[in-house]
Structure 1
Amino acid sequence: MKRTEAEQFTRRLTHHGEGPVWLGHHGLAVLDMLAGDVVLIDDSGAETRREHLGAVVAALRPRRDGGFVAGLERGFCLLNDRFTVTETVTCWTSPDVRMNEGACDPQGRFWCGSMAYDLTPGAGALWHLDPTGAAVQAIAGIGCSNGLAWTRDGTRGYYVDSLTGRVDILELRPDGAIANRRPFVDVTGEGFPDGIAVDQADGVWLAMFGSGLLLHFDRTGRRDAEIAVPVRQVTACTFAGPDYSELYITTSRYGLTDPEAAAGAVFRARPDVGGFAPYAFSG
């Protein structure tokens, strides 16, 4: 199994870094999730802009016709290209549950899942926002909705409910309903599975929160590589840059009484197989 080490790309920018995504001419965006901030980073690793969207910003993706879509604490919002919120959709009112991670599918729907602040099992759900503006609960009874990404050809999605200790495969019907959900890999006992990125060969990079590792599984589920990060709490990863050849990794200081100096910084690595552009929201 191939093992490499990530290099530090930025200074410490976030308390709980999450949801990295490449936004083209805007550069790399990372989320300071529990501060509700979107942080833009240039190709030198410098912070160029910080926008506050609310109590929580759980996920961010581009829209096909300009602007962005985001998951907020209790629902979704649309933003223009200046990161001004133009529309919100509330999915629930309970203060005990918040959104946590999301992505767009190849059909242009924006998916985002929820979790209880105290990780109560079954309190979360997986939602999607249709281009029409309708919010749909796709799966109930989720523990901690986390990484979500689709293959380049759109034939399968990979999904993490962290409390299951697994990455699952989601197969969708044309209407966006989930036709099948089945286990892909199980990492129970090895750490807390968090965010994911999918490469051009349909392999999955999985951030293991608490272990300082990203694990790679090929399309068949065989573990064949890992990336070591010198920070325990790795949270998420994404392919970015003009050719999507580099993997950018977010980290967190959340809940630590003795955080490493670089916890909250963004790291990067260059795997053998690169990625591709994130799918955009068509609404």
Structure 2
Amino acid sequence: MRAELAVRASAELGEGPTWDTAARRLIWVDILGSRVHTWDPATGRRTVMATEQHVGAAKPRAGGGLVVNLRDGIGLYDAGGAFTWLVRDAVPGRRGNDAAVAPDGALWAGTMRYDESPGGGTLTRVAPDGTAAVLLDDVAVSNGTGWSPDGTRVYYVDSPTRRIDTLRVEGQHIVERREFAAIEPGAGFPDGLTVDADGGVWVALWDGGQVRRYTRDGRLDRTVRLPVPRPTACAFGGPDLRDLYITTARTGQSRPHPLAGSLLVLPDAGHGTAGIPFAG
């Protein structure tokens, strides 16, 4: 299995690939570049939209448009591009990071401090009406979040811990957090993740130059080396959800690899599941 170039780009901090089933396109962001990118693999059509703030994630909305995790909170773009705030929660020195849509249509949005200080970040559930409930208030770099195919298990990454955890949620509270898989020193830090149709967990390893797949029982099943040192996240896409798309970053590298900041793809890597649009 070998990574190929999908879209050549120079994102400072590419993140959050998401397959938009309704529009048949891939969405991803450049956090530090304050850009939302889209790409249709069938036609090659690309769009780039500037945001007024650093943007940690962009996800499709059920009625069209996007929900975005910005520096100062959660915003909405309608199908015509008009912007409104859904949740405004500005904290100096903090920004939005990765986010994911839960099976019930709510957004789970992470934050982190720019200096990545421990305990400076959060994980918050944002309901379609804008009601926000903090699930975790003591994380450093809130990153990958995903659900098992049956929706009963939540996977979560706080990158500096070098772990993928499972969360058990009752109502709007996390009642249990367990280690699912640990990343050994020297292999990089877990970043964004996705869960395939068989329950396998794929995770990008920042500073590890690879993506890994873990089986549903936490066993390392596959390692795919990449031509860049800082992959950030991965997601299945394409009309049959069999291609694994991987975002990458240039930031913090004195001599970035020529493909750093581009969108990569592992063709026919497995089989993903259709994403849920934000219900708000």
Shorter chain as denominator, the TM-score bin is: over 0.9
Q: Secondary structure at the match of 1:163?
A: helix
1:46 shift after superposition: 4.3
Q: Matched residues in 2 for 1:47 and 1:95: separation?
A: 37
What residue is the counterpart of 2:101 in the other structure? 104
> 1:21-62 CA distances to partner (integer Å, 9 max, x unpaired)?
111325111101112110111216846211112221111212
RMSD of Structure 2 on Structure 1 (CA): 1.6
What residue is the counterpart of 1:43 in the other structure? 41
Q: 1:97 to 1:85 in 2, by over 3 A?
A: same
Structure 1 ranges of 4+ moved more than 4 A: 44-47
> 1:178-211 CA distances to partner (integer Å, 9 max, x unpaired)?
2321110011412111010110011111100111
Q: 1:46 to 1:194 in 2, by over 3 A?
A: same
CA contact (8 A) 1:9 1:45 kept: no
What residue is the counterpart of 1:280 in the other structure? 277
Give the alignment of 1:19-168 within 5 angstroms.
19-24=16-21, 25=23, 27-43=25-41, 46=44, 48-91=46-89, 93-168=90-165
CA contact (8 A) 1:51 1:83 kept: no
CA contact (8 A) 2:95 2:114 kept: yes
- Superposition TM-score, scaled by structure 1 size: 0.93
Segment of structure 1 superposing worse, 45-54 or 24-33: 45-54
CA contact (8 A) 2:212 2:222 kept: yes
> 1:205-238 CA distances to partner (integer Å, 9 max, x unpaired)?
1100111100110000000101111000100010
> 1:49-85 CA distances to partner (integer Å, 9 max, x unpaired)?
1111222111121222322211111210111123331
Q: Matched residues in 1 for 2:226 and 2:36: separation?
A: 23
Q: Matched residues in 2 for 1:183 and 1:255: separation?
A: 29
> 1:110-140 CA distances to partner (integer Å, 9 max, x unpaired)?
0111111111111111112112211221111
CA contact (8 A) 1:10 1:45 kept: no
Q: Matched residues in 2 for 1:234 and 1:242: separation?
A: 23
Segment of structure 1 superposing worse, 11-20 or 100-109: 11-20
CA contact (8 A) 1:15 1:252 kept: yes
Q: Secondary structure at the match of 2:7?
A: coil
What residue is the counterpart of 2:225 in the other structure? 228
Query: Any gaps of 5 or more consecutive residues in structure 2?
Result: none
Q: Is 2:183 aligned against 1:187?
A: yes
Q: Secondary structure at the match of 1:35?
A: coil
- How many pairs align? 278
Q: Matched residues in 2 for 1:13 and 1:245: separation?
A: 25
Q: Secondary structure at the match of 1:81?
A: coil
- Superposition TM-score, scaled by structure 2 size: 0.94
Query: Any gaps of 5 or more consecutive residues in structure 1?
Result: none
Q: Work out which of the residue numbers 208, 215, 219 in structure 2 matches 1:218.
A: 215
Q: Matched residues in 1 for 2:197 and 2:34: separation?
A: 31
Segment of structure 1 superposing worse, 265-274 or 244-253: 265-274
Q: Secondary structure at the match of 2:32?
A: helix
The one-letter code matched in structure 2 to 1:115 is: M
Segment of structure 1 superposing worse, 33-42 or 214-223: 33-42
| Percent sequence identity over aligned pairs | 37
What residue is the counterpart of 1:14 in the other structure? 11
Q: Matched residues in 2 for 1:67 and 1:44: separation?
A: 21
